[in-house]
Structure 1
Amino acid sequence: MLAPGNRNGPQDFPVTDQGEPLRIDGRIVAGLLLLTVIAYLPGFSCGFIWDDDAHVVNSRPVVSPDGLAAIWLEPGSVPQYYPLTHSSFWLEYRIWGENPLGYHAINILLHAVSVLVLWRVLVGLGLPGAWLAAALFAVHPVHAESVVWISERKNTLSGLFALASTWAWFCWWRSEPGAGRRCWWLSGLLFVGALLSKTVTVTVPAAWLVICWWRGGRIGRRECLGALPMLLLTVPAGLMTIWTEQNHIGAGHLDLGLSSFDRLLVAGRALWFYAGKLFWPGDLVFIYPKWSIDSNLFVQWLYPLGAVMAFAVLWWQRSRLGRGPLAAVLLFAGTLSPALGFIDIYPMQFSFVADHFQYLASIPLLACASWLVTTGWHASRGSLLVLVLAGMTFVRCGVFHDTGTLWRDTVAKNPRSPLALTSLGNQLGETGLHELAERRHRQAIDIDPRFPDAWVNLAVELQNQGRGDEAFRVANAAVELAPWLPRARVNLALGLAERERYDEAVRQLEAAVAGDKRFVMAWFQLARIELLRDNETGYQRATEQLRRLNPRLAGEFSPSHAPQDRPSP
């Protein structure tokens, strides 16, 4: 049996001494921190984009001083049940308020600290070129989406917890049997933090076992028992996330039309896509074109078959290549598994892939690449590679400067994205370019006539142009297309109220709040219309709920004054 301090198997690529040195090289620490900050310097001047408002400034639990209870105890009160992530927003809102600078600074700081922890993990595992792997992770442009998009705090926070948990677990693993219990308990605590930040980290304990096999050639009883409690924690966490996606995010209403065979095609193609973006990070897009999947086309089966063949070749050649390359691709695929299409998640209606899905999954391939560079090339070439990637990240950050810049870049690179087109239409409408805004919404509908958001946004735009009859017809079409979408029903209710069809408007609003009990604007409009039709009971019920959700908005009502119509956001 291998001793704890010598778990290096004979069939492995070269490693350095596994005993993790107590001394930390301050030059490497300073260099990695400085490199990360410089690469992400434009991120400090970025604003809120896309759903950042929903996660921060428009999130009632975040802005409310007593919102922590809702974040932790009321699933659905925030977009996803990641209570630690939303608690960080709650805390920061007390400090920064609606200034995006602070949120971006914390995201960049979390990423920088994760880089340092990753370096220590790889040093502890004896990987040659650990500093280079950490540097590649720090500045790879595919990670700009995770670091500069405030909503992806769930990636940077869960990533830090996951890496810190991994460091503690391997400190326990390297210790003599019976020792290192504090490290094991610390690892468990940090892993819980990762799950409460983003449950995509459910794959981390399985990753530990793969690493143990890489380093020692076997997975023994001690390793299994050491990972088992964390593996058990992943079950309720994963089920909770699936339930939230189905009931509060919108995945339950998705009809992706994918058979089991189709999902295999998506997974196989996604693996090659993500690996390709790591080794050639050109043409990065916020919303990638959505692939047309057809299991009857043999050429599409080449992706999953190629992936299986790659695993098989690495397995058969492990005596010559070592276990490292196989372990790297197993870790890569395993960490990506929650986002490979086997489970429906909301973003898949727009694209099957996204850069932020491979934030942690990129690490094993980057580590493998750093080993190849360090052992096969001159070290200066590795440094040059880091500088090139840092420059690409610096440029990529500019895309996330503001909502308009983001959607213009996305439409330029993916002109057939309905989401990007209608989102750009919203931004154009806000700046007064109504003709262009309407054109973008109609383009989105032409591309995907069943995309309800485009119909809802077009109705709002037409109403803003004073074309009420057209807006009313479009709002009707939106509800027929997506009766489960509260925003669609609110817009239709506004049109009905404008025509003094108050009873019908109330029915639409009742359906809206039944679908989303925390939809503030639906309660606002319900209170307004109940007041207009002199229904004191309905008015009191709506304002009571509104006071719980948004006391400021509830304060605008009085029996003698009905607020003016407001388009649904």
Structure 2
Amino acid sequence: MSAANSKSFSSYGLPLLMLLAAALYLPSLKNGYVGWDDALITANPNIRSFSPENLRRIFIPALDSPASYQPLRTLAHALVYAVSGTRPFGYLLLNILLYLATIFLFYRLVEYLLASGREAAGELEARLAALAAAAFFAFHPVHVEAVSWLQGGKQSLMAVFFLLSFIHYLKYSREGRRSAYWISLIAFLAALTAQPGALGLPLLILGYEALSAGWSRGSIRATLVRISLRTFPFLLPGILLVLFLLFFTTVEAGIPAASLPARLSAIPLLWTKSLLKLLVPVNICCRYPLTAAVPPQYINGGILALVLAGSGWALLRAAGNGPAARLAVLWFCVTLVPTSGLVRTSTLMADRYLFLPSLGFALLAGLVYCRIGRPIAGGPGEPPRQGRLLAAVLALVLAASFALITLQRQGDWREARTLWSRVVEVYPRDRLGTLNLAEAFYRQGSYDEALKLYRKAIDIDPSYGDSWLNLGQMLCRKGDFREARKLLVHGLRLRPDREEGWINLGICLSNTG
């Protein structure tokens, strides 16, 4: 490919990429509800209208809320509900559109990052790196959860404003445009109200300023003051949201009893698994039974931390170890921090938690792609044919592999049975996955299959009260009141807080005397 052809391809490459990404995710439009957080749409009165009372409930957080503060997500659902009601198609279409917007903005960010500032890449190289990075992100199968799940669109919604904020902050920092600073701050607040994962943006801005500042001996104090003044307006709302999540929400992690030291020692394992998911996206599913070890595994955590440090160094070297490469590693780290178990969430590891970190990883991939295509034996002129060919072959093989996995993965989100069948396939001894698959078969009327899976869930973990109670509920509704009563009594000893368990036990007692 000549330089002229490369420039032409870089010009129409972004529209082509977005068309391919849209086509790749069209099968998701056939998906439906999967029995996981469906009530956020089907039973949420706040999305039914734009009345002042509804808007107040959406934007003013309630104390002891069972969920985190995400009003912009609720507002987006309200907009879709006004057009298409509770039909899944509208929410999935919004997910795809937001995903395409994320791809577009990420391309623009990488192009601007490389074509200006200290990186000073040529226009063509900046475009090709941006296109390679955006393609890596667009086709990566770890993002299926964010697009094919009705509730997953909050990740793209947050990412759109996250990217807008960082792009405008760069324009302020590099061009001195004051208006860009205020646009950046407003966009950050929007990202923060879409999904708390945006908490990583102030850390990213702080790290960017630290990496790009001139740390001469006589100006250290002035530099620190300047960075503090620039970043404080971003840090303050982030701190307030963290305090709200810590003290006023009731979301629990997978292992609520895990201490802070245990969760800290689990971070290297979590980050290692996250990095592997981006490098080799196999065994992907909607649930990973990763928990914080009790007592804390400090030695294992320390070993994995060294492995991570070595991996980061190797990736930096592969990407050229320039300012953009260092920013990419920083991006991956700081955007993974909010979902690393420091603040308790509903699960310790999930594909959706990699949505923002994968942007940093994709930037590294784009830099590596361009580095492979550069001249192998110095001198001016075009890259040698073998360098261009190697880069093109690697990109095509990677894109095709990712696209095939992405297509297959979308089918997992078709319904509850397919979703949890995949979890049980990957983790046959996962109690929650087995229980949810039993529930899916039960709701479809496949009682024999449900019975086997309920029994299996009890066998996996006899102390898991939900398995006993759900099996008891099924037998109660089928009329086997004596057997159901035994199961419910045992289950309520383990989970006395399950109100429906007491109701079902009352039904059994009234029918057995």
Q: Select between 447-456 and 38-47 the one with higher mean Cα deviation.
A: 447-456
Residue 481 of structure 2 corresponds to which residue in structure 1? 468
Equivalents in 1 of 2:299, 2:260: separation in Å? 16
From the superposition, tell whether residues 291 and 79 of structure 1 become closer, same or farther in structure 2 (CA, over 3 Å): closer
In 2, the alpha carbon distance for the partners of 1:477 and 1:193 equals 47
**What is the aligned counterpart of 2:359 among 344, 347, 363?**
363
Instruction: Report Cα offsets for 1:411-431 as digits up to 9, x if no partner.
Output: 111111111111111111122
**TM-score, with normalisation over the residues of structure 1?**
0.74
The equivalent position to 2:181 in structure 1, one of 184, 197, 204, is 184
Instruction: Report the counterpart of residue 200 of structure 1 in structure 2.
Output: 197
Q: Is the 8 A contact 1:81 1:244 kept in 2?
A: no
Partner of 1:166: 166
Residue 491 (structure 1) aligned to one of 482, 501, 504: 501
Counterpart among 231, 234, 237 of residue 230 in structure 1? 234
Residues 56-65 or 222-231, more deviating? 56-65
Q: Write out aligned runs for 1:211-226 (5 A).
A: 211-215=208-212, 221-226=225-230
Distance 1:124 1:220, change over 3 A: farther
In structure 2, C-alpha distance between the alignment counterparts of 1:63 and 1:340, rounded to whole Å: 34
**Counterpart in 2 of 1:72?**
59
Give the letter aligned to residue 34 of structure 1: L
Residues 199 and 241, structure 1, Cα contact 8 Å, conserved in 2: no
Aligned to 1:28: 13
**Distance verdict in 2 for CA 1:234–1:300, change over 3 Å:** closer
1:243–1:61 Cα change, 3 Å: farther
Cα gap change, 1:448 to 1:206, in 2 (>3 Å): same
C-alpha distance 371-214 of structure 1, shift in aligned 2 (>3 A): farther
Instruction: Look up the match of 1:96.
Output: 84
Q: Is the 8 A contact 1:472 1:495 kept in 2?
A: yes
Per-residue CA distance 1:21-67 (angstroms, 9 max, x = gap): xxx97623412320220221211111112324111012232246643
Query: SS of 1:269's equivalent?
Result: helix
Specify the code of the residue in structure 2 equivalent to 1:368: L
> C-alpha distance in 2, partners of 1:434/1:125?
57
| Alpha carbons of structure 1 residues 490 and 65: separation in structure 2 relative to 1, 3 Å | farther
- Which residue of structure 2 aligns with residue 381 of structure 1? 393
Shift of the 77–233 alpha-carbon distance from structure 1 to 2, 3 Å rule, reads closer
**1:133 alignment partner, SS class:** helix
Q: 1:423 to 1:298 in 2, by over 3 A?
A: same
Question: Which residue is 2:376 aligned to?
Answer: none
Correspondence 1:554-565 to 2 at 5 A: none
Change (3 A) 1:262 1:309: farther
What one-letter code is carried by the residue in structure 2 that aligns with 1:241? L
Provide the residue aligned with 1:548 in structure 2.
Answer: none
C-alpha contact 2:458 2:464 (8 A) present in aligned 1: yes
Superposed displacement of residue 403, structure 1: 1.3
Q: Is the 8 A contact 1:132 1:382 kept in 2?
A: no
1:63 and 1:453, CA in 2 relative to 1: closer, same or farther beyond 3 A? farther
- State how far apart, in whole Å, the 1-side matches of 2:14 and 2:368 are: 22
**Equivalent pair of 2:489/2:505 in contact (CA under 8 Å):** no
Matched, 1:210 2:207: yes
Q: Structure 1: how far apart are the matches of 2:332 and 2:238?
A: 19
**Paired position in structure 2 for 1:458:** 471
Equivalence for 1:276: 276
Task: Provide the secondary structure at the position in 1 that maps to 2:258.
Answer: coil
Kept in 2, the 8 Å contact 1:328–1:365? The answer is: yes
The CA distance in 2 between the partners of 1:168 and 1:330, in whole Å, is 18
Q: CA deviation at 1:440?
A: 1.0
Which residue of structure 1 lines up, in the alignment, with residue 341 of structure 2?
341
1:19 matched residue in structure 2: none
Gaps of 5+ in 2: 1-8, 116-125, 216-222, 374-387
Pick 1 or 2: higher relative contact order, CA cutoff 8 A, min separation 6: 2
> How far apart in 1 are the matches of 2:477 and 2:12?
58
User: Tell me, which stretches of 5 or more residues in structure 1 are unaligned?
Assistant: 1-23, 502-569
In 2: Cα distance, 1:427 partner to 1:211 partner: 47
**TM score, norm. by length of structure 2:** 0.82
Work out whether residues 143 and 355 of structure 1, in 8 Å CA contact, stay in contact via their aligned partners in 2: yes
| Aligned pair partner of 1:123 in 96, 108, 111 | 111
Q: State the percentage of identical aligned residues.
A: 26
Task: Kindly indicate whether residue 33 of structure 2 is the aligned counterpart of residue 48 of structure 1.
Answer: yes
Letter in 1 for 2:102: S
Root mean square deviation of aligned Cα: 2.9
Indicate if the aligned counterparts of 1:265 and 1:304 stay in contact, CA closer than 8 A. no
Query: Partners of 2:158 and 2:341 in 1: how far apart?
Result: 21
Residues 90-113 of structure 1 show CA distances to partners (whole Å, capped at 9, x for unaligned) of 221121112101100100100110
**Contact 2:266 2:292 (C-alpha < 8 Å) held by counterparts:** no
Measured in 2, the distance between the counterparts of 1:70 and 1:468 equals: 42
* 8 A Cα contact 1:335 1:360, kept in partner: yes
| 1:88, distance to aligned residue in structure 2 (A) | 1.0
2:243 to 232, 239, 245: 239
- Note the 1:130-169 alignment, pairs <5 A: 130-169=130-169
Q: Which residue of 2 aligns with 1:305?
A: 306
CA contact (8 A) 1:71 1:78 kept: no
- The alignment of Structure 1 onto Structure 2 pairs a total of residues equal to 462
1:91 aligned counterpart, secondary structure: helix
| 1:332 alignment partner, SS class | helix
Contact 1:444 1:454 in 2 (8 A): yes
Structure 1 residue aligned with 2:384:
none
Aligned partners of 1:174, 1:212: CA distance in 2, in Å?
11
